[in-house]
Structure 1
């Protein structure tokens, strides 16, 4: 990130992931046109909120606990957790618009009520989340950026972890799943430095998925290709 800003005052943030894939079909475009606006967490758009007024969490989420999933892919895990936990609200961030459309299709088919969707960079959402407003966070199979010169693009860097720490309440759980050993290394180095404590107590703790885990299509592909999932749990100090 540099000191350059957009006309609205938005900081200039480099974004390296994909925003678009293959052309959307009519149903997917309809999901975006008809459903996305109502599911927005609000206050995130820089043009509408250049002063970065924080989201009124009590009004938007009805006083419920709020969880956050960063990079939800096609939304399998997000709608799974929403179904298991109707007492919470879940915000999902995903800049890849094809994945957003896939999630919206799942929400419509399942009638999921307790979700919000930010179709963009999580850092813009962090700007408007009040401190200590999130009760749990998920980072599941993030882009690995395998080349050493690209490791600074990973989510587990101070640029992302510092605002994540700010918006999580003390004691909140932060879950990370990845099949990339070097991502595990960087996670175990950087996340504790950012004010989190790893909850692993035994050597094989990282091998066991969480009791409420849903194995996604990405994880099944990793298993077929011989890669080992790692499940890391942290607590925000």
Structure 2
């Protein structure tokens, strides 16, 4: 299965990595169509009609969003630990989507839906105030200064995220890049958030480390954990 290209969106790097394993290709063919959030693409929803959150899981359960779930370690952990919550995971990198599908199978959870594409397409059709929590965990750092506009913690992303989060909803950010911490602290509060963390080096009680965090620790970079509350 291929992730469709969206020419009007050019803020991402590569979407494909090394060749997929046979079982990963199987998960993409068998599981992804069933778990994908419907009505997100412009082909399926050219009028950009808002999604019906109840249609995702059949009830009014709280909805959480994980932006860029990587290999799905944290997504699967949260789904298993919170069966009464519906999680929406977004990842544009095909190999990460395949890895996450395997973890969701192993966790035997049914409270996750996926969008294998650009998060902005999803946020365009999320109803206002529908999310109770959002996670941004080890996002692409875009280290070059000329690429900082591509980071998630910029108005293009934060405005739609703030609109989709309910008042009082939590927004968690984890990163090992000091300059990403700087930009997060500069950009997130003006978008409609209050900072609520007290120790940036202490993880959340329900934290599940990811492979990106493990890599950061191996390479001597310190994780930072930031928490914000939607006003």
In the superposition, the TM-score normalised over structure 2's length comes to: 0.95
CA distances 1:75-134 after superposition (whole Å, capped 9, x unpaired) = 000000011100100000000000000011111122111100000010000011000000
For structure 2, list consecutive stretches of 5 or more residues without a partner in the other structure.
1-5
For structure 1, list consecutive stretches of 5 or more residues without a partner in the other structure.
1-9
Residue 45 (structure 2) aligned to one of 38, 43, 49: 49
Q: Distance in 2 between matches of 1:124 and 1:213?
A: 27
Q: Equivalences for 1:117-136 in 2 at 5 Å?
A: 117-136=114-133
State the match for 1:195 in structure 2: 192
Q: Distance in 1 between matches of 2:146 and 2:86?
A: 37
State the match for 1:183 in structure 2: 180
State the match for 1:7 in structure 2: none
Q: Distance in 1 between matches of 2:197 and 2:33?
A: 40
In the superposition, the TM-score normalised over structure 1's length comes to: 0.92
1:233 aligns with 2:230: no
Q: Distance in 2 between matches of 1:33 and 1:220?
A: 30
SS at 2:129 equivalent: coil
Q: Distance in 1 between matches of 2:13 and 2:88?
A: 20
Runs of 4+ displaced beyond 4 Å = none
Q: Distance in 1 between matches of 2:95 and 2:9?
A: 22
Q: Are the aligned partners of 2:56 and 2:113 in contact in 1 as well (CA < 8 Å)? A: no
SS at 1:127 equivalent: helix
Residue 213 (structure 2) aligned to one of 215, 219, 222: 219
Residue 17 of structure 1 and its aligned partner are, at CA, apart by: 2.3
Q: Distance in 2 between matches of 1:221 and 1:14?
A: 27
Q: Distance in 2 between matches of 1:15 and 1:128?
A: 19
Query: Which has the higher mean CA deviation after the structures are superposed, 116-125 or 218-227?
Result: 218-227
Residue 15 of structure 1 and its aligned partner are, at CA, apart by: 2.8
1:107 aligns with 2:109: no
Residue 225 of structure 1 and its aligned partner are, at CA, apart by: 1.1
SS at 1:48 equivalent: coil
1:162 aligns with 2:156: no
Q: Are the aligned partners of 2:48 and 2:125 in contact in 1 as well (CA < 8 Å)? A: yes
Pairwise CA RMSD? 1.2
1:31 aligns with 2:27: yes
Q: Distance in 2 between matches of 1:96 and 1:131?
A: 27
Residue 21 of structure 1 and its aligned partner are, at CA, apart by: 0.4
Q: Distance in 2 between matches of 1:76 and 1:109?
A: 11
